[in-house]
Structure 1
Amino acid sequence: MNKTKRVTINDIARLAGVSKSTASLVLNGRGKELRVSTDTRARVMEIARQEHYQPSIHARSLSSSRSNTLGLVVPEISNHSFALFSHELETLCRDAGLQLLIACSDENASQETLAVNNLIQRQVDGLIVSSCLLSDSEYQKISQQLPVVLFDRHLGESTLPLVISESIESTAKLVAAVAGQGYDEFYFFAGPPRISLTRDRLEGYQRGLAEAGLAFNPEWIHHGHYDARSGYEMFSELYSRLGRVPQALFCASGALQEGVLRYLSRHDLLNTDIHLCSFDDHYLYDSLSVMIDTVVQDERLLAWNCFEMIFSLIEEHKTGELQRWLPARLRLRHAQGQIRH
Structure 2
Amino acid sequence: MASNKLKLNDIARLAGVSATTVSHIFNKRDKKYRISPQTRQRVLAIAQQYSDQSHIRQYLVKANSTNTIGVVVPDMSNSFFSMFLHHLEASFRQKNIQLLITCSHYNPEVEIKVAQNLVERCVDAMIVVTSLDSDDFYVNINQQTPVLFFDRYLKDTKLPFITSESVKSVADLIIPYAKQLEEFYFIGCDIQLTSIHARLEGFKQGLKTAGLKFKHDWLVCDDYCQNKGYQLIKGVHEKLGRLPKAIFTPSCNLLQEVLSYLVEIKIDPNQICLCSYDYNIYLDYCYYPTDAIAQDFQTMAHTCVEVIDRLINFKELKHHAFFIEPKIIRHR
Whether these two folds match at TM > 0.5 is yes
Mapping of residues 71-90 of structure 1, within 5 Å? 71-90=70-89
Question: For residues 194 and 299 of structure 1, what CA distance do their matches in structure 2 show?
Answer: 24
Preserved contact between residue 28 and residue 62 of structure 2 (Cα < 8 Å):
no
1:152 and 2:144 are equivalent in the alignment = no
Question: For residues 269 and 134 of structure 2, what CA distance do their matches in structure 1 show?
Answer: 44
Give the match for residue 117 of structure 1.
116
Tell me which of 200, 203, 206 is aligned to 1:202: 200
Give how far 1:228 is off.
Answer: 5.6
Give how far 1:63 is off.
Answer: 8.5
Give the match for residue 138 of structure 2.
139
Question: For residues 240 and 255 of structure 2, what CA distance do their matches in structure 1 show?
Answer: 19
Give how far 1:101 is off.
Answer: 0.5
Counterpart secondary structure, 1:92: helix
One-letter identity of the residue aligned with 1:93: F
Mapping of residues 34-183 of structure 1, within 5 Å? 64-180=63-179, 182-183=180-181
Tell me which of 273, 289, 292 is aligned to 2:290: 292
Question: For residues 271 and 194 of structure 1, what CA distance do their matches in structure 2 show?
Answer: 31
Give the match for residue 237 of structure 1.
235
Question: For residues 93 and 132 of structure 1, what CA distance do their matches in structure 2 show?
Answer: 24
CA 165–63 in structure 1, closer or farther in 2 if over 3 Å, else same: closer
TM-score between both structures, scaled by the size of structure 1: 0.77
Question: For residues 231 and 320 of structure 1, what CA distance do their matches in structure 2 show?
Answer: 39
Give the match for residue 191 of structure 1.
189
The one-character-per-residue Cα deviations of 1:193-240 (angstroms, maximum 9, x if unpaired) are 221122111111111111111111101111134566111111111111
Give how far 1:289 is off.
Answer: 2.0
Give the match for residue 322 of structure 1.
320
Question: For residues 210 and 286 of structure 2, what CA distance do their matches in structure 1 show?
Answer: 28
CA 70–312 in structure 1, closer or farther in 2 if over 3 Å, else same: same
One-letter identity of the residue aligned with 2:136: S
One-letter identity of the residue aligned with 1:77: M
Counterpart secondary structure, 2:122: coil
Preserved contact between residue 228 and residue 257 of structure 1 (Cα < 8 Å):
no
The one-character-per-residue Cα deviations of 1:129-180 (angstroms, maximum 9, x if unpaired) are 0111111111111111111100101200111111110101111111222201
Question: For residues 223 and 268 of structure 2, what CA distance do their matches in structure 1 show?
Answer: 23
One-letter identity of the residue aligned with 1:176: I
CA 228–250 in structure 1, closer or farther in 2 if over 3 Å, else same: farther
Question: For residues 301 and 215 of structure 1, what CA distance do their matches in structure 2 show?
Answer: 35
Question: For residues 168 and 161 of structure 1, what CA distance do their matches in structure 2 show?
Answer: 20
Give how far 1:254 is off.
Answer: 0.6
Preserved contact between residue 28 and residue 63 of structure 2 (Cα < 8 Å):
no
Question: For residues 205 and 262 of structure 1, what CA distance do their matches in structure 2 show?
Answer: 23
Identity percentage of aligned residues: 35
One-letter identity of the residue aligned with 2:197: R
CA 62–195 in structure 1, closer or farther in 2 if over 3 Å, else same: closer
1:302 and 2:300 are equivalent in the alignment = yes
CA 100–271 in structure 1, closer or farther in 2 if over 3 Å, else same: same
Question: For residues 215 and 253 of structure 1, what CA distance do their matches in structure 2 show?
Answer: 23
Mapping of residues 217-228 of structure 1, within 5 Å? 217-226=215-224
Give how far 1:296 is off.
Answer: 1.5
Query: Which runs of 5 or more structure 1 residues have no equivalent in the other structure?
Result: 1-20, 35-60, 335-341
The one-character-per-residue Cα deviations of 1:252-279 (angstroms, maximum 9, x if unpaired) are 1011000011111122125341000000
Preserved contact between residue 171 and residue 201 of structure 1 (Cα < 8 Å):
yes
Question: For residues 77 and 203 of structure 2, what CA distance do their matches in structure 1 show?
Answer: 26
Give how far 1:317 is off.
Answer: 3.1
Question: For residues 176 and 257 of structure 1, what CA distance do their matches in structure 2 show?
Answer: 19
Tell me which of 267, 270, 276 is aligned to 1:269: 267
Preserved contact between residue 226 and residue 256 of structure 1 (Cα < 8 Å):
no
Question: For residues 96 and 311 of structure 2, what CA distance do their matches in structure 1 show?
Answer: 17
The one-character-per-residue Cα deviations of 1:174-193 (angstroms, maximum 9, x if unpaired) are 1222201x211100011122
Question: For residues 97 and 80 of structure 2, what CA distance do their matches in structure 1 show?
Answer: 22
Give how far 1:332 is off.
Answer: 2.1
Give how far 1:316 is off.
Answer: 2.1
One-letter identity of the residue aligned with 1:140: V
Which has the higher mean CA deviation after the structures are superposed, 146-155 or 170-179?
A: 170-179
CA 261–227 in structure 1, closer or farther in 2 if over 3 Å, else same: farther
